[in-house]
Amino acid sequence: MMRYIFFYIHTFLFSCAPENTIIAEKHGAADDSIKKLSSLDIALPIAKPGDWLYEHKERGQTFLEYINCNPISPNATQNVIYIQPLGNFSRNTDSIIHSTVEYLHAFFGLKVNLLPVISDSLIKPAYKRIREDGHLQYLTTFILDSLLVSRLPEDGIALMAITDTDLYPKDSWNYVFGQAYTRKKVGVSSIFRYIENDRPEKCLERLIQTSSHEIGHMFSILHCTNAICVMNGSNSMEESDGRPNRLCSVCLNKLCWNLKFNNRERFKELSEYFNKYKIQSDYKLVVKDLEIYSK
Angle (nearest 5°) at CA 137 between 186 and 153: 20
**Residue number with CB closer to Zn ion (68 or 232):** 232
Interface with Zn ion (CB under 5 A), residue from 5, 6, 9, 74:
9
- Least distance in Å: CB of 227 to Zn ion? 6
- Determine the Cα–Cα distance for residues 100 and 112; give it in Å rounded to an integer: 10
Q: Is 7 in the site for Zn ion (CB under 5 A)?
A: yes
For the bound state, the minimum distance from the C-beta of residue 247 to Zn ion, rounded and expressed in Å, comes to 6
Give 43 or 126: the residue with its C-beta nearer to Zn ion: 43
User: By CB under 5 A, is residue 229 in contact with Zn ion?
Assistant: yes
- Residues touching Zn ion, count (CB under 5 A): 8
CB–CB of 60/225 below 8 Å?
A: yes
Nearer to Zn ion by Cβ, of 84 and 226: the residue is: 226
What backbone phi and psi angles, to 5 degrees, belong to 118? -115, 150
Window of 49-57, 163-171, 231-239, 254-262 that interacts with Zn ion by CB under 5 A: 231-239
Residue 19 and residue 105: Cα distance in Å, rounded?
A: 35
Q: Please identify which residue in 147, 251, 256, 285 interacts with Zn ion, judged by CB under 5 A.
A: 251
Q: Minimal distance in Å, beta carbon 124 to Zn ion? A: 26
What is d(CA 145, CA 221) in angstroms, rounded to the nearest whole number?
20
Nearer to Zn ion, 138 or 243 (CB): 243
Q: Are 140 and 179 in contact (CB under 8 A)?
A: yes
In the complex, least distance from residue 213 CB atom to Zn ion, rounded to whole angstroms: 6
Task: Determine, following the binding rule CB under 5 A, whether residue 252 of this chain makes contact with Zn ion.
Answer: no
- If the CB atoms of residues 211 and 271 are measured against Zn ion, the closer one turns out to be 211
- 7 vs 274, beta carbon nearer Zn ion: 7
Contact status: 188 vs Zn ion (CB under 5 A): no
Helix pair 94-108, 201-218: axis angle to 10 deg: 40
Q: Which spans in 31-149 are helix H? A: 52-55, 63-68, 94-108, 140-142
The minimum distance between CB 46 and Zn ion, in angstroms, equals 17
Q: Is 5 in the site for Zn ion (CB under 5 A)?
A: no
Identify the three-state secondary structure at position 150: helix
Q: Are 83 and 160 in contact (CB under 8 A)?
A: yes
Among 148, 157, 161, 224, binds Zn ion (CB under 5 A): 224
Tell me the Ramachandran region of residue 182: left when phi exceeds 0, alpha when psi lies from -120 to 50, beta otherwise.
alpha
Applying the rule CB under 5 A, the residues between 139 and 158 that interact with Zn ion are none
Q: What letters, b where the CB count within 10 A reaches 16 and e where it falls short, cover 165-197?
A: bbbbbeeeeebbbbbbbbbbbbbbbbbbbbbee
Position 14 contacts Zn ion (CB under 5 A): no
Name which of 51 and 77 has its Cβ closer to Zn ion. Answer: 51
Check binding of 248 to Zn ion (CB under 5 A).
Answer: yes
Minimum CB separation of residue 253 from Zn ion in Å reads 9
State the nearest-atom distance from the C-beta of 133 to Zn ion, in Å. Answer: 26
The answer to whether 91 and 195 have CB atoms below 8 angstroms apart is yes
Phi/psi for 40 (5° steps) reads -95, -5
Binding stretches for Zn ion (CB under 5 A)? 7, 9, 224, 226, 229, 231, 248, 251
